[in-house]
């Protein structure tokens, strides 16, 4: 590959496959039976009802209205129609801002860059004759359009230097505007959102042990003294990890019970049986329904005992608490200040949304945190640079001879020539593929070990890790062939100013490779996203075997969510490619624009119709996104400098200013906007407090916050809680009738004040 027609052909193939996916999607989504897979968001919102309720039997499952098939692309304009404020209202700020990343990439950065690049750089490159004159070098049209074609004609490099500066300043401008807009969107969102428990609540960690008081009493006393005018109430955190696992296990068994009961209903003649051994493969044969009922009963008892133990045993109370204040102002003050003279005790931070809390990490002491983070930094280093070693080891084990040795009875099958070559062709790739599929999970686990307490923080942290991995192994790994470890080694042995040259030199040569990468991974990959193959299959399986009532069907839906941790770093890779090639090989830019436009369309459709976000962080990920864009800019500028100095262009030193300016720009933006994503300004808090006091003078905040931060296992079976709270809000003078008398409840409550319970 390499010539323009080759790339055109590849583009055609990829466009066709993308269209194939879209066609499949168009057909699948029109079938009523798939309605819950492709429109779960509307079901969750209670707006859409199953189309299967009406019509004849066949039309319950298959759409027979052929007119709808003709307009199979009509979801696209629909996806674009919803205006942004409505989108924020419908899907949350996180999703709306996430979508803006694509818009930023497409319209705001790369379209102007492409136009300028094609007007200025492409003619400059094309009219140079270096490659044509060099007879012995093979080159393609792509190369003719790139900076490689300039050669010794150094006067022409002026165009590239000027364009590098123009591109950089345009990007600064766009990034600044975008950061400003998103900061104000965030503040507006926070200011206009409804009353939420996290606005009044601060998470306190590392409560020091006290010989005379329980954690609850200690917290109560500390905050009534040090925030005497503002402290309202608090909730201690229970270590309910074991209870949660029991509940989880019970749920799994209940699913099986339902499955066997359904089986029995369909075939009442025969009671279903099962085997107790591993995966039901061996062991005693039992009556499945009886067995599961008994097991569930046993677990229920265990659960009750554990629940009792958690609530009554002081040791299961973790040295952390959610402390609530009378006003947003009081909470803002507490979250932003240092409480104790030992800065590792009484650590306060904004409480995450109740949905966003990652409960298991709430009680990690400070010293352990430092150790955990250091260890994970080292682990990340090794994972990034040496991940290939264990994979190579697995690959060396998983060769044909190895398989034949372990499972000798398969030998006749393996020895067949077709199977043999198939295995030999695929096996080496499989270990790597499995690793890459598992990678986001591994990174998320590492972030969990680091001890962050909010899901949103975990996702942000994993995204950083994943970006590092992609940068080293995909971007640098493609530019410099060889494993990451070999790169690291060669970098260590090269001088600092040689590294950009080495990497820079290979940039123009790899343009065609990255174009095809964009088409395969970007175009077709995004089109595959819209079909939702995995949720489709799982929904139909569950629907067939488990669903009995409409509520079961509701639960069988898996709307999924935007996976920030794995998808954002991928977008960043495209930004990086676009910025690096903008000056070098502008022909690459249109492919990136297609990717961004197409992704924008697909994900806008998905967040409107499918995804259901688990939490709402108010776009708190934007500083990370911005930071990685800055990294991409610096990398592109350094590499351009290296590339030009290998071509002996005297102008390359002029580019030295660009990274410096970029760093200044970054530090400016950081100081200007980042606080808006970390702290809540007191002025805004005060405005909301005053407004609320004026409109709802009789609000009973204490009741409102009473059950806000309970570990989910404690209210897993009574989901009416939030509703009850809603009700109270509407009618705040009616005394609450809820009496969740869990055994240990009164114990602590009576000890200090009637409000201290979970």
The stretch among 236-244, 293-301, 487-495, 505-513 that binds its own copies (CB under 8 A) is 487-495
Please return the burial class of 562, using the count of CB atoms within 10 Å of its CB with bins 0-12, 13-18 and 19+.
buried
What's the angle, vertex CA 505, arms to CA 504 and CA 507, rounded to 5? Answer: 65
CA–CA gap between residue 477 and residue 469 (Å, rounded): 10
> Whose Cβ is closer to its own copies: residue 57's or residue 496's?
496
CB 195 within 8 A of CB 728: no
CA–CA gap between residue 293 and residue 624 (Å, rounded): 49
Output the smallest distance, CB 497 to its own copies, in A: 5
Output the smallest distance, CB 658 to its own copies, in A: 14
Q: Is there binding between residue 660 and its own copies (CB under 8 A)? A: yes
From 666, 722, 546, 521, select the one nearest 10 (Cα to Cα): 521
Which residue in the set 161, 333, 638, 756 belongs to the binding site for its own copies (CB under 8 A)?
Answer: 333
Which residue in the set 154, 340, 483, 700 belongs to the binding site for its own copies (CB under 8 A)?
Answer: 340
The stretch among 72-80, 134-142, 342-350, 469-477 that binds its own copies (CB under 8 A) is 342-350
From residue 520, give the alpha-carbon distance in Å to each of 460, 514, 642.
26, 10, 29
Determine which helix (DSSP H) or strand (DSSP E) holds 235, and give its type and residue range.
strand 231-238
* Subset of residues 498 to 537 that bind its own copies, contact rule: CB under 8 A: 498
The stretch among 130-138, 148-156, 279-287, 337-345 that binds its own copies (CB under 8 A) is 337-345
The stretch among 61-69, 285-293, 366-374, 445-453 that binds its own copies (CB under 8 A) is 366-374
CB 590 within 8 A of CB 69: no
Q: What DSSP line would sit under 354-367, residue for residue?
A: GGGB-GGGTT--HH
CA–CA gap between residue 244 and residue 247 (Å, rounded): 5
Which residue in the set 68, 344, 597, 614 belongs to the binding site for its own copies (CB under 8 A)?
Answer: 344
The stretch among 203-211, 260-268, 522-530, 667-675 that binds its own copies (CB under 8 A) is 667-675
Q: Is there binding between residue 549 and its own copies (CB under 8 A)? A: no
Which residue in the set 276, 421, 683, 716 belongs to the binding site for its own copies (CB under 8 A)?
Answer: 683
The stretch among 50-58, 385-393, 468-476, 674-682 that binds its own copies (CB under 8 A) is 674-682
> Whose Cβ is closer to its own copies: residue 121's or residue 331's?
331
What residues have CB less than 8 Å from 587, skipping those under 6 apart? Answer: 122, 142, 145, 146, 511, 515
The stretch among 254-262, 312-320, 325-333, 744-752 that binds its own copies (CB under 8 A) is 325-333
> Whose Cβ is closer to its own copies: residue 449's or residue 749's?
449
Q: Is there binding between residue 341 and its own copies (CB under 8 A)? A: yes
> Whose Cβ is closer to its own copies: residue 249's or residue 670's?
670
* Subset of residues 595 to 654 that bind its own copies, contact rule: CB under 8 A: none
Which residue in the set 209, 425, 671, 697 belongs to the binding site for its own copies (CB under 8 A)?
Answer: 671
> Whose Cβ is closer to its own copies: residue 337's or residue 481's?
337
Q: Give 32's DSSP letter.
A: G
Which residue in the set 49, 127, 245, 667 belongs to the binding site for its own copies (CB under 8 A)?
Answer: 667
> Whose Cβ is closer to its own copies: residue 225's or residue 723's?
225
> Whose Cβ is closer to its own copies: residue 433's or residue 648's?
648
> Whose Cβ is closer to its own copies: residue 157's or residue 673's?
673
From residue 273, give the alpha-carbon distance in Å to each of 23, 187, 258, 261, 280.
43, 59, 14, 11, 10
From 459, 458, 442, select the one nearest 450 (Cα to Cα): 458
Output the smallest distance, CB 53 to its own copies, in A: 49
Which residue in the set 99, 109, 207, 332 belongs to the binding site for its own copies (CB under 8 A)?
Answer: 332
Alpha-carbon torsion, ordered 55, 60, 64, 67, to 10 deg? 80
Which residue in the set 374, 481, 746, 750 belongs to the binding site for its own copies (CB under 8 A)?
Answer: 374
274, β-bridge pairs = 286
CB 117 within 8 A of CB 589: yes
Binding track, positions 214-253, relative to its own copies; x by CB under 8 A: --------x--xxx-x------------------------
Please return the burial class of 111, using the count of CB atoms within 10 Å of its CB with bins 0-12, 13-18 and 19+.
middle
Both tokens of 539, joined, read: 């929904």
The stretch among 17-25, 161-169, 369-377, 619-627 that binds its own copies (CB under 8 A) is 369-377
The stretch among 113-121, 279-287, 496-504, 693-701 that binds its own copies (CB under 8 A) is 496-504
* Subset of residues 146 to 205 that bind its own copies, contact rule: CB under 8 A: 187
What residues have CB less than 8 Å from 502, skipping those under 6 apart? Answer: 480, 490, 494, 642
Output the smallest distance, CB 661 to its own copies, in A: 9
> Whose Cβ is closer to its own copies: residue 71's or residue 221's?
221
Which residue in the set 104, 518, 640, 680 belongs to the binding site for its own copies (CB under 8 A)?
Answer: 680
Both tokens of 132, joined, read: 């044509």
CA–CA gap between residue 123 and residue 570 (Å, rounded): 31
CA–CA gap between residue 731 and residue 725 (Å, rounded): 10
From 682, 681, 688, select the one nearest 184 (Cα to Cα): 681
325, β-bridge pairs = 231
CB 108 within 8 A of CB 172: no
From 522, 527, 423, select the one nearest 474 (Cα to Cα): 522
- How many other C-beta atoms are found inside a 10 Å radius of the C-beta of residue 595? 25
> Whose Cβ is closer to its own copies: residue 494's or residue 726's?
494
Q: Is there binding between residue 208 and its own copies (CB under 8 A)? A: no
> Whose Cβ is closer to its own copies: residue 224's or residue 262's?
224
The stretch among 305-313, 491-499, 565-573, 699-707 that binds its own copies (CB under 8 A) is 491-499
CB 331 within 8 A of CB 199: yes
Strands 317-325 and 285-287: unpaired
How many residues in the shown chain lie near its own copies by CB under 8 A?
49
The stretch among 65-73, 151-159, 211-219, 341-349 that binds its own copies (CB under 8 A) is 341-349
Output the smallest distance, CB 300 to its own copies, in A: 44
The stretch among 77-85, 486-494, 536-544, 608-616 that binds its own copies (CB under 8 A) is 486-494
Both tokens of 60, joined, read: 């319950």
CA–CA gap between residue 42 and residue 48 (Å, rounded): 5
Helix axes 622-646, 657-673, angle to 10 degrees: 180
Which residue in the set 252, 675, 712, 722 belongs to the binding site for its own copies (CB under 8 A)?
Answer: 675
What residues have CB less than 8 Å from 232, skipping those under 6 apart? Answer: 200, 324, 325, 326, 330, 701, 702, 705
From 675, 579, 667, select the one nearest 629 (Cα to Cα): 579
Please return the burial class of 254, using the count of CB atoms within 10 Å of its CB with bins 0-12, 13-18 and 19+.
middle
273, β-bridge pairs = 287
Which residue in the set 139, 259, 358, 491 belongs to the binding site for its own copies (CB under 8 A)?
Answer: 491
Output the smallest distance, CB 701 to its own copies, in A: 18
Q: Is there binding between residue 336 and its own copies (CB under 8 A)? A: yes
> Whose Cβ is closer to its own copies: residue 170's or residue 491's?
491
* Subset of residues 684 to 713 that bind its own copies, contact rule: CB under 8 A: 684, 686
Residues at the site binding its own copies, with contacts judged by CB under 8 A: 187, 222, 225-227, 229, 329, 332-333, 336-341, 343-344, 346, 366-367, 370-371, 374, 378, 491-498, 660, 664, 667-668, 671-676, 679-684, 686
């Amino acid at each position: 590959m390499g010539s323009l027609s080759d790339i055109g052909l590849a583009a055609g193939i990829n466009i066709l496959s993308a269209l194939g996916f879209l066609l499949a999607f168009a057909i699948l989504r029109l079938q009523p039976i798939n309605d819950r897979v492709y429109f779960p968001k509307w079901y969750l919102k209670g707006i859409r009802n199953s189309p299967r309720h009406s019509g004849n039997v066949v039309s319950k499952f298959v759409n027979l209205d052929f007119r709808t098939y003709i307009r199979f692309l009509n979801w696209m304009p629909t996806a674009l129609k919803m205006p942004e404020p409505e989108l924020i209202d419908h899907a949350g700020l996180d999703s709306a801002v996430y979508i803006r990343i694509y818009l930023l990439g497409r319209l705001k950065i790369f379209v102007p860059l492409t136009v300028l690049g094609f007007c200025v750089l492409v003619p400059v490159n094309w009219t140079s004759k270096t490659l044509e004159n060099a007879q012995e070098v093979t080159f393609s049209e792509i190369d003719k359009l790139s900076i490689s074609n300039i050669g010794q004609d150094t006067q022409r490099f002026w165009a590239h230097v000027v364009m590098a500066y123009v591109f950089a300043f345009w990007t600064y401008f766009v990034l600044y505007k975008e950061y400003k807009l998103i900061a104000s969107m965030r503040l507006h969102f926070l200011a206009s959102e409804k009353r939420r428990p996290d606005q009044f609540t601060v998470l306190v960690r590392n409560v020091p042990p006290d010989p005379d008081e329980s954690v609850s009493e200690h917290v109560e006393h500390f905050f009534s003294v040090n925030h005497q005018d503002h402290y309202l109430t608090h909730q201690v955190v229970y270590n309910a990890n074991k209870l949660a696992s029991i509940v989880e296990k019970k749920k799994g068994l209940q699913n099986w019970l339902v499955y066997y009961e359904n089986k029995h209903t369909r075939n009442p003649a025969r009671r279903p049986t099962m085997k107790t051994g591993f995966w039901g493969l061996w062991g005693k044969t039992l009556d499945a329904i009886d067995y599961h009922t008994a097991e569930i009963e046993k677990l229920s008892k265990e659960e009750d005992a554990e629940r009792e133990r958690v609530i009554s045993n002081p040791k299961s109370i973790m040295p952390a608490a959610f402390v609530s204040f009378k006003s947003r102002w009081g909470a803002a003050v507490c979250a932003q200040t240092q409480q104790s003279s030992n800065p590792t005790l009484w650590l306060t931070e904004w409480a995450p949304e109740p949905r966003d809390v990652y409960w298991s990490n709430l009680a990690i002491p400070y010293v352990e945190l430092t150790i955990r983070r250091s260890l994970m930094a080292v682990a990340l280093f090794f994972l990034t640079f040496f991940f290939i070693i264990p994979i190579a080891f697995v690959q060396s084990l998983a060769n044909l001879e190895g398989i034949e040795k372990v499972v000798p009875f398969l030998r006749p099958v393996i020895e067949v020539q077709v199977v043999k070559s198939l295995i030999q062709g695929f096996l080496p790739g499989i270990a790597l593929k499995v690793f890459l599929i598992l990678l986001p999970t591994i990174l998320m686990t590492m972030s969990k070990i680091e001890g962050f307490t909010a899901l949103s923080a975990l996702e942000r942290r994993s995204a950083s890790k994943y970006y590092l991995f992609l940068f080293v192994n995909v971007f640098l790994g493609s530019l410099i062939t060889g494993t990451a470890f070999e790169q690291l080694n060669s970098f260590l042995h090269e001088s600092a100013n040689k590294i950009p040259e080495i990497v820079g030199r290979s940039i123009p040569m790899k343009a065609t490779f990255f174009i095809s990468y964009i088409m395969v991974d970007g175009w077709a990959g995004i089109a595959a996203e819209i079909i939702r193959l995995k949720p489709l299959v799982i929904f139909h399986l569950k629907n067939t075997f488990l669903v009995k009532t409409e509520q079961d069907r509701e639960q069988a839906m898996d709307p999924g969510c935007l996976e920030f941790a794995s998808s954002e770093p991928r977008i960043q890779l495209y930004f990086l490619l676009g910025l690096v090639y903008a000056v070098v090989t502008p022909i690459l830019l249109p492919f990136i624009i297609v990717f961004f436009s197409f992704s924008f369309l697909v994900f806008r459709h998905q967040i409107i119709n499918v995804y259901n976000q688990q939490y709402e962080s108010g776009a708190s990920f934007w500083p990370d996104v911005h930071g990685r864009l800055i990294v991409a800019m610096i990398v592109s500028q350094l590499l351009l400098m290296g590339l030009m100095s290998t071509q002996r262009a005297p102008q390359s030193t002029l580019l030295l200013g660009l990274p410096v300016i970029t760093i200044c720009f970054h530090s400016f933006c950081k100081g200007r906007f980042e606080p808006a994503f970390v702290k809540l300004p007191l002025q805004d808090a005060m405005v909301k407090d005053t407004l609320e006091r004026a409109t709802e003078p009789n609000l009973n905040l204490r009741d409102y916050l009473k059950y806000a931060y309970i570990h989910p296992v404690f209210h897993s079976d009574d989901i009416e809680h939030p509703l009850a709270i809603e009700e109270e809000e509407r009618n705040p003078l009616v005394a609450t009738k809820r009496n969740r008398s869990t055994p240990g409840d009164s114990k602590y409550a009576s000890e200090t004040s009637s409000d201290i319970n979970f």
